[in-house]
């Protein structure tokens, strides 16, 4: 990709990206670019590697066999009962859109083939009983609103056998997903099966961005403005107002704002970035093989911490690491969500939480997740270190450079 540009910036250099940005008035294009640049793009390899690693990690906490199921849309006719005598449950039912379902089925099949004594691929009740399973894992690519994963758990929960085993603590339920929003995770955790929820990476959302509050509101209003103006066939802020900013190479969740994926009811000239939630051949080049960590200087500028950004960019000695300084700066502004820290740093969920806990252990952040006097002192020390050889950083303006001559180039 062009030097200095993130994968999501590169997305706007593609032919479809250039057409998409023309949907917006000149006065709104800077906000549209910023929001598109905040998208986290997850490639096939990154998704499969991340979810597989998480499944294997969680399974280490289970003594016996684990049953694996891929979450999918469930209709009212689905039943998971003792009458299910022979065939395993379909992971990808006929006639369905198997974008994410096919990926999940492949991951489950590979895990089960590699460790057949530990993992079962969509077993029925009789197999569960015969193998004396200890845990049921429901896998999903993304927990946006939490509805799909919860509905699938409900279908399993209809079984009297499963409910009985759970009541006697003979089995446990876990929901394992590559990513999820905070609201979606809470929804799944409230299910009667009381599943533990595990995600590899927090989903960025508009609300949880590390931006200034005014910038967040401007992005939200722009999504609502064009969803109404172009009569887009989708909720302006995503399904159940999820506001998700994560896109898989196998498809864009409908939890993302409609401006990214929804067609227009009345404006045929409207060009979605991901038409009908699909990633077409013109935009696949923007998906990196693995996720990269964000530049902390740029993240501080987006958060309105210009002086700290200058300190971080300078060659002056500083006791804080880049990620520690960025975390304390965000906590100073009251932005203390784990998903906000994950979005700003580009860290996976587990590492973002570990970073916060490290800052708590150091006494920079309190157990109630508020910056302490010691943390403020560390930041003041960084600011006052800019006495000599200050390296100034540019303002974030509305005229970012997107070289059109690079359109269509690949990630190389």
Could you tell me if residue 11 is inside a domain? Answer: yes
Please give the pLDDT value at position 217: 96
Residue 65 and residue 161 in one domain: yes
pLDDT (mean) for 181-195: 94
Least confident of 1-5, 190-194, 263-267, 278-282: 1-5
Please give the pLDDT value at position 84: 44
Residue 168 and residue 53 in one domain: yes
Please give the pLDDT value at position 94: 46
Give the tens place of pLDDT for each residue, 365-411: 888 889 999 888 888 877 666 544 454 545 555 444 444 433 343 33
Residue 240 and residue 96 in one domain: no
Cα-to-chain-centroid distance, residue 293: 14
Could you tell me if residue 162 is inside a domain? Answer: yes
Q: How many CB atoms lie within 10 A of CB 4?
A: 9
59 or 288, which is more confident?
59
For every residue of the chain, which 3-state class applies, written as one string?
A: CCCCCCHHHHHCCCHHHHHHHCCCCHHHHHHHHHHHHCCEEECHHHHHHHHHHHHHHHHCCCCCCEEEEECCCCCCCCCCCCCCCCCCCCCCCCCCCCHHHHHHHHHHHHHHHHCCCCEEECCCHHHHHHHCCCEEEEEEEEECCCHHHHHHHHHHHCCHHHHHHHHCCCCEEEEEEEEECHHHHHHHHCCCCCCEEEEEEECCECCCCCCCHHHHHHHHHHHHHHHHHCCECCCCCCHHHCCECEEECCECCCCCCHHHHCCECCCCCCCCCCHHHCCCCCCHHHCCCCCCCCCHHHHHHHCCCHHHHHHHHCCCCCCCCHHHHHHHHHHHCCCCCHHHHHHHHCCCHHHHHHHHHHHHHCCCECCCCCECHHHHHHHHHHHHCCCCCCCCCCCCCCCCCCCHHHCCCCCC
Residue 67 and residue 182 in one domain: yes
Euclidean distance between CA atoms 380 and 376, whole angstroms: 6
| Residue ending a domain, choose from 292, 317, 351 | 292
Domain count, the chain: 3
User: Is pLDDT at 69 greater than 90 in this prediction?
Assistant: yes
120 has which bridge partners?
Answer: 67
Is the CB of residue 89 less than 8 Å from the CB of residue 124?
yes
Please give the pLDDT value at position 308: 59
Residue 238 and residue 316 in one domain: no
Euclidean distance between CA atoms 180 and 51, whole angstroms: 12
Could you tell me if residue 153 is inside a domain? Answer: yes
Could you tell me if residue 400 is inside a domain? Answer: no
Q: How many CB atoms lie within 10 A of CB 263?
A: 17
| Residue ending a domain, choose from 232, 264, 292 | 292
Domain of 337 in residue numbering reads as: 296-384
CATH number at 172 reads 3.40.50
Q: Residue 128 region, left (φ>0) first, then alpha (ψ -120 to 50), else beta?
A: alpha
Could you tell me if residue 83 is inside a domain? Answer: yes
Please give the pLDDT value at position 349: 84
Residue 48 and residue 184 in one domain: yes
Give the tens place of pLDDT for each residue, 280-339: 887 887 787 666 566 665 566 666 666 656 655 554 445 778 888 888 888 988 888 888
Residue 163 and residue 240 in one domain: no
Q: Give percent above pLDDT 90 in the chain.
A: 49
CA distances from 95 to 101, 264, 363 (A): 12, 25, 56
User: Is pLDDT at 93 greater than 60 in this prediction?
Assistant: no
Could you tell me if residue 395 is inside a domain? Answer: no
pLDDT (mean) for 250-272: 93
Structure-token pair, residue 109: 């099949």
Please give the pLDDT value at position 379: 82
Could you tell me if residue 399 is inside a domain? Answer: no
Residue 55 and residue 193 in one domain: yes
Residue 167 and residue 56 in one domain: yes
Residue 63 and residue 167 in one domain: yes
Q: Which of 81-85, 192-196, 199-203, 206-210 has the highest mean pLDDT?
A: 192-196
| Residue ending a domain, choose from 202, 228, 253 | 202
CATH number at 325 reads 1.10.10
pLDDT (mean) for 93-119: 82
Residue 221 and residue 338 in one domain: no
Please give the pLDDT value at position 411: 37
Residue 130 and residue 216 in one domain: no
Could you tell me if residue 2 is inside a domain? Answer: no
281 Cβ neighbours under 8 A, 6+ residues apart: none
């Amino acid at each position: 990709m062009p030097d200095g540009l993130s994968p999501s910036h590169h997305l706007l250099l593609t032919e479809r990206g250039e057409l998409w940005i023309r949907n917006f008035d000149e006065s709104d294009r800077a906000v549209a670019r910023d929001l598109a640049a905040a998208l986290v793009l997850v490639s096939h390899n990154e998704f499969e590697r991340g979810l597989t690693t998480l499944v294997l990690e969680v399974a280490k906490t289970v003594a016996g066999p684990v049953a694996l199921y891929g979450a999918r849309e469930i209709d009212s006719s689905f039943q998971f009962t003792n009458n299910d005598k022979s065939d395993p449950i379909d992971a990808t039912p006929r006639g369905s859109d198997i974008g994410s379902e096919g990926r999940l089925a492949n991951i489950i099949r590979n895990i089960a083939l590699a460790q057949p004594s530990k993992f079962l691929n969509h077993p029925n009740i009789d197999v569960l009983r015969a193998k004396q399973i200890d845990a049921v894992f429901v896998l999903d690519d993304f927990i946006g609103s939490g509805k799909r994963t919860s509905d699938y758990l409900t279908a399993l929960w209809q079984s009297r056998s499963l409910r009985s085993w759970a009541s006697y603590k003979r089995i446990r339920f876990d929901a394992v997903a590559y990513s999820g929003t905070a609201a979606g995770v809470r929804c799944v955790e409230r299910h009667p099966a009381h599943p533990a929820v595990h995600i590899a990476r927090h989903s960025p959302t508009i609300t949880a961005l590390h931006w200034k509050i005014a910038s967040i509101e401007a992005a939200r209003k722009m999504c609502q403005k064009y969803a109404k103006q172009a009569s887009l066939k989708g909720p302006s802020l995503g399904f159940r107002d999820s506001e998700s900013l994560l896109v898989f190479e196998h498809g864009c969740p409908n939890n993302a704002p409609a401006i990214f994926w929804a067609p227009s009811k009345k404006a045929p000239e409207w060009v979605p970035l991901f038409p009908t939630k699909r990633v077409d051949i013109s935009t696949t080049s923007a998906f990196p093989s693995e996720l990269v960590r964000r530049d902390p200087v740029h993240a501080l500028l987006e958060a309105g911490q210009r002086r700290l950004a200058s300190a971080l960019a300078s060659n002056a000695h500083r006791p804080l690491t880049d990620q520690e300084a960025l975390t304390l700066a965000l906590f100073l502004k009251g932005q203390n969500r784990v998903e906000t820290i994950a979005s700003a740093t580009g860290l996976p969920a587990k590492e973002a939480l570990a970073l916060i806990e490290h800052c708590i252990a150091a006494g920079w952040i309190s157990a109630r997740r508020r910056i302490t006097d010691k943390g403020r002192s560390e930041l003041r020390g960084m600011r006052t270190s800019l006495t000599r050889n200050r390296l100034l950083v540019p303002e974030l303006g509305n005229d970012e450079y997107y070289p059109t001559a690079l359109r269509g180039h690949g990630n190389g």
